[in-house]
Amino acid sequence: MIVVACIKQVPDTTQVQIDPVTNTLVRDGIPFIINPYDSHALEESLRLKDSHGFKAVALSMGPPNAEAMLRKALALGADRSVLLSDRVFGGADTLSTSNVLSAAIAKLREDEEVGIVFCGKQTIDGDTAQVGPGIAVRLGFSQLTLVDRIEKIDLVERTITVRRKLEGRYEIVEARLPAMITVVRELNRPRYPTVPMRLASAKAEVEVWSNEQLRLDVNSVGLKGSPTWVSRIFSPERKEGEIVGDGMNDPAGAARLLLERLIEGDMLAV
Ligand SMILES: Cc1cc2nc3c(=O)[nH]c(=O)nc-3n(C[C@H](O)[C@H](O)[C@H](O)COP(=O)(O)OP(=O)(O)OC[C@H]3O[C@@H](n4cnc5c(N)ncnc54)[C@H](O)[C@@H]3O)c2cc1C
């Protein structure tokens, strides 16, 4: 049974700049990293390989230079790394990204059953958290988001039990396999590659699939298959007169400050 980790290459956000004319990221000369949440998705897929004998596949849609990230996944222990790269995939919004990733997972399923797909909870550039659920819906997989612990996997009953980390509470959920799981950082601590594995991965093959392999309608992928687009990106302006209180260390003081300012500003009827 296969476990897939969807991993996306993202710009190192401390250095991101936006082109004010085109409203797109300035990518020239910017270092790229694996989306931090996706490191945890990859790590969990490798743990399932070790504990349950899953075959671990790392999957990414991106430009040719994403190959380096996928090679690192091989160095960490993935059995296969697949890069989905084709000009027709370029300019994709989240819907068309989900289409392409789902088609690739469906193709993997032609050879062997896919039991689990791990995604990060969200990326640090697009930040939408839509792609994982988009994959689950397209493939008809159970959808388990914000997971911080795998409680149990029962391959006989074909069920999985996970803990979801919600605001102020946890939720234990059991679901049918196959499942798509989005993960949070608390799930695990990603491993480092050993020197022998790093050396072996230098020669290992990162498979590159274009639309020739996936055979998707070109109108359903890339820019053509994207019903949404970014019309403007901007940093919100700092407004004058904001109220800053230390709600973490002094919640009562912060509440008092807020109340005083609301009364002062005649914004509250008392
Ligand atoms: C309206 C809109 C228009 C856009 N237009 C463009 C554009 O013109 N050109 C462009 O380059 N980008 C564009 N993007 C960005 C592009 O859509 C996103 O990079 C992509 O859809 C993933 O969305 P996200 O980053 O929000 O992922 P999220 O939904 O936040 O990601 C969740 C998880 O899904 C998985 N995942 C997401 N993307 C990938 C991937 N590519 N490969 C493998 N796993 C993945 C990861 O596990 C990730 O942690 C656009 C985004 C939006 C919202």
pLDDT score for 21: 73
Q: Tell whether 141 and 259 lie within a shared domain.
A: no
96 touches ligand 1 (CB under 6 Å):
no
d(CA 222, CA 100): 9
Does residue 228 sit within a domain? no
d(CA 260, CA 90): 52
Q: What is the pLDDT along the chain (270 residues), one digit of tens a residue?
A: 999 999 999 988 666 677 777 666 677 778 899 999 999 999 999 999 999 999 999 999 999 999 999 999 999 999 999 999 999 999 999 999 999 999 999 999 999 999 999 999 999 988 999 999 999 999 999 999 999 999 999 999 999 999 999 999 999 999 999 999 999 999 999 999 889 888 888 888 999 999 999 999 999 999 999 999 888 877 777 777 677 888 888 999 999 988 888 888 766 665
161 touches ligand 1 (CB under 6 Å):
no
Distance 132 CA to ligand 1 centre (A): 10
pLDDT score for 102: 98
Does residue 229 sit within a domain? no
**What domain count does the chain have?**
2
Q: Tell whether 95 and 204 lie within a shared domain.
A: yes
d(CA 187, CA 163): 10
123 touches ligand 1 (CB under 6 Å):
yes
pLDDT score for 8: 98
Q: Domain range holding 86?
A: 2-220
From 94, 100, 124, the mutation candidate for ligand 1 (largest count of ligand atoms within 8 A of CB) is 94
Across-strand partners of 3? 56, 116
Distance 258 CA to ligand 1 centre (A): 38
pLDDT score for 14: 65
d(CA 1, CA 259): 58
The number of beta carbons lying within 10 Å of the beta carbon of residue 135 is: 25
201 touches ligand 1 (CB under 6 Å):
no
126 touches ligand 1 (CB under 6 Å):
yes
Distance 53 CA to ligand 1 centre (A): 30
From 93, 137, 206, the mutation candidate for ligand 1 (largest count of ligand atoms within 8 A of CB) is 93
Q: Tell whether 146 and 194 lie within a shared domain.
A: yes
The number of beta carbons lying within 10 Å of the beta carbon of residue 161 is: 15
Q: Tell whether 172 and 213 lie within a shared domain.
A: yes
Q: Tell whether 132 and 259 lie within a shared domain.
A: no
Q: Tell whether 93 and 203 lie within a shared domain.
A: yes
Does residue 82 sit within a domain? yes
Q: Tell whether 42 and 143 lie within a shared domain.
A: yes
Q: Tell whether 23 and 127 lie within a shared domain.
A: yes
pLDDT score for 157: 97
245 touches ligand 1 (CB under 6 Å):
no
Does residue 226 sit within a domain? no
Q: Tell whether 28 and 136 lie within a shared domain.
A: yes
Chain centre to alpha carbon of residue 118: 8
Does residue 234 sit within a domain? no
| DSSP three-state, residue 68 | helix
For atom 38 of ligand 1, the residue with the nearest CA is: 8
| DSSP three-state, residue 228 | coil
User: Which H or E run includes 109?
Assistant: helix 94-111
pLDDT score for 266: 67
DSSP state of 13: G
Q: Tell whether 33 and 154 lie within a shared domain.
A: yes
pLDDT score for 231: 84
pLDDT score for 16: 66
Does residue 116 sit within a domain? yes
Show the tokens assigned to 41.
């998705």
Q: Tell whether 247 and 130 lie within a shared domain.
A: no
Does residue 131 sit within a domain? yes
pLDDT score for 105: 98
Residues near 82 by beta carbon (within 8 Å), at least 6 away in sequence: 57, 58, 59, 60, 70, 104, 108, 206, 207, 208, 209
127 touches ligand 1 (CB under 6 Å):
yes
Does residue 136 sit within a domain? yes
Q: Tell whether 186 and 110 lie within a shared domain.
A: yes
Which CATH number does the domain housing residue 39 bear? 3.40.50.620
